[in-house]
Structure 1
Amino acid sequence: MNFTTRAFKEKRVLPGFGITMGLTLLYITFLVLIPVSMVFINSSQIGCEKFWEIVSNERVVASLKISFSTSLLAATVNTIFGLILAWVLERYTFPGKKIMDGFIDLPFALPTAVAGIALTTLYAQNGYIGKLFAPYGIKISYTPLGITLALIFISFPFVVRTVQPVLQNMEIEVEEAATSLGATRRQIFFKVILPELLPALITGFALAFARALGEYGSVVFISGNMPLRTEITPLLIRTKLEQYDYAGGTAIAAIMLILSFAMLFFINLFQWWAGNKHSTVRGE
């Protein structure tokens, strides 16, 4: 062992790879793998035929479509406006900037049930905003549109908080160099800024999507819970459990976990591809 290796090991704050990896696997196993595996164990006891009969039910399929479509739409909207908001907070100075930055985390602190009641009151046909759209025949509460708005509200901090650190570390000199070389604003954004932000944007999108997909408290009030129309999958699972239909509830939860994992896997795969492509372009 040479002096450099010995000095490097002496400077380590945490113990070696074996101990930290063991603690990591133990932590993940007890907090994630065991609880998730119980869903599949319980659902497997009903048999494949019964499982397929439950998950292919018209009401279950409709709830999955509503949950996934509204969650994807909410995550997409938050990705666009989250980027804009993060850009404003990091690149400009204006009165009340710190207050605005603090407001972003309010959905994390606000109980979801309180958020759901507030949004329902606001967007109902006699609410402050809902009554403005009612004369045009536009209904917000108790529709997929209302569900999407609730999901946007509870998941929008994720994109902002993942993009902000990247913007903080970006060197403005690179943009100035591109400007001096004759690049337009559009070219600077798509060729210089966006490639740097893309991994963070994908991460924020994935977090917002996952958060919206599992949301219950804020949606249950504004959705109206109408089967085949505005019933979300988490609510259907709870309904099954309240009816002591544990097999049906775990089967729906299992198919939702499978679909969620598949989508998040492809999102992470795209993030890995984008990160490698960006590193190749930079010559790293």
Structure 2
Amino acid sequence: MSVLSSTLSIQRFHRSLLQGLALTYISFIILLPLSVIFLEASKRSWQELWQVITAPVAVEAYKLSFGAALLAALINSIFGVILAWILVRYEFPGRRLADGLVDLPFAMPSVVAGIALVSLYGSGGVLGHYLDPGTFLGNSLQQLGIKQVNLTSSVLGVVFAKVFVTLPFVVRTVQPVLMEIEPEVEEAAHTLGANAWQTFWRILFPQLLPAILTGFTLAFARAVGEYGVVLIISGNIPYETMISSVYIYRRLEEYDYSGATAVAIVLLLFSLVILICTNLVQWWSLRYER
């Protein structure tokens, strides 16, 4: 009994030690920096903070950040499912390479991605120069009343950037679910008279929906916080193409640390809401699977 009691005591000690180390690590990495944000914002009165948070340029930055993030997440929710379906269900030359390229936005530095997009879609870029005045497409657009099209310093450029950085999320959340669904399920549905659309909407989509929602929320959260790629491609024009993270950096450049942290708190609170929604979706997904 004494040996058993000693063993249990050692196990409890090790468990308590690991739990303490984990909590300490989380406190230093997450809780401490977040508490400093609120401490910095408290240096101003609520009235002053409210003026900064609700300033017209800040409100427009919120609208663009959340609106472009929502659109990017929706686009990747559609094409991410299609891409995951192709990678799982079809064999073709270069499939492994294509599957590996999906993760490239995770590994690529934001500055490199921004330069690549500007070089591709910017005025005079590989594709962008076809829209410049004097070209066939440029002249055609001018006849329609569109003098010049710039795919970079525009809202469209912001959406492009957010779509690029959030591509992997839906693909990687849907892929494992598709792998678990046996092709025989689809064959059985076809045997019973269901066409391709009926098979997808009635058989596959209900099983994919939790994964799609999880991927959507993750992509949306990532798009809201994106900074590097958008900084390069958007032009950062106030009231037009400036997102919230760039606006925060502008406040920091003006040494307005309290104002910057006030806007940062808005994004932080919104991120917490997204995190809660993601956990609820995952909880619902587990209940659905059971």
- TM-score for the superposition, normalised by structure 2: 0.84
Partners of 1:147 and 1:178 in 2: how far apart? 42
Partners of 1:269 and 1:193 in 2: how far apart? 22
The aligned counterpart of 1:11 is none
Partners of 1:28 and 1:172 in 2: how far apart? 43
Tell me the amino acid that sits aligned with residue 155 of structure 1. T
1:27-176 alignment runs, 5 A limit: 27-134=25-132, 135=138, 136=141, 137=146, 138-176=149-187
More off after superposition, 89-98 vs 175-184 = 175-184
Partners of 2:80 and 2:14 in 1: how far apart? 39
When Rg is computed on C-alpha atoms for both structures, the one with the higher figure is 2
Tell me how many residue pairs correspond in the alignment. 269
The aligned counterpart of 1:197 is 208
1:260-271 alignment runs, 5 A limit: 260-270=271-281
Query: 1:48 deviation in Å?
Result: 1.4
1:187 is aligned, of 198, 207, 211, to: 198
1:219-243 deviations in Å (ceiling 9; x for gaps) = 1111101111111111111111122
More off after superposition, 168-177 vs 136-145 = 168-177
Tell me the amino acid that sits aligned with residue 53 of structure 1. Q
Query: 1:19 deviation in Å?
Result: 6.0
Query: 1:207 deviation in Å?
Result: 1.7
Query: 1:52 deviation in Å?
Result: 0.6
Partners of 2:70 and 2:88 in 1: how far apart? 26
CA contact (8 A) 2:161 2:230 kept: yes
More off after superposition, 216-225 vs 121-130 = 121-130
- Cα RMSD after superposing both structures: 2.5
- TM-score for the superposition, normalised by structure 1: 0.85
- 5+ residue gaps, structure 1: 1-14
Partners of 2:184 and 2:22 in 1: how far apart? 40
Tell me the amino acid that sits aligned with residue 71 of structure 1. A
- 5+ residue gaps, structure 2: 1-12, 133-137
Partners of 1:46 and 1:19 in 2: how far apart? 40
Partners of 1:109 and 1:167 in 2: how far apart? 25
Query: 1:201 deviation in Å?
Result: 1.3
Identity %: 46
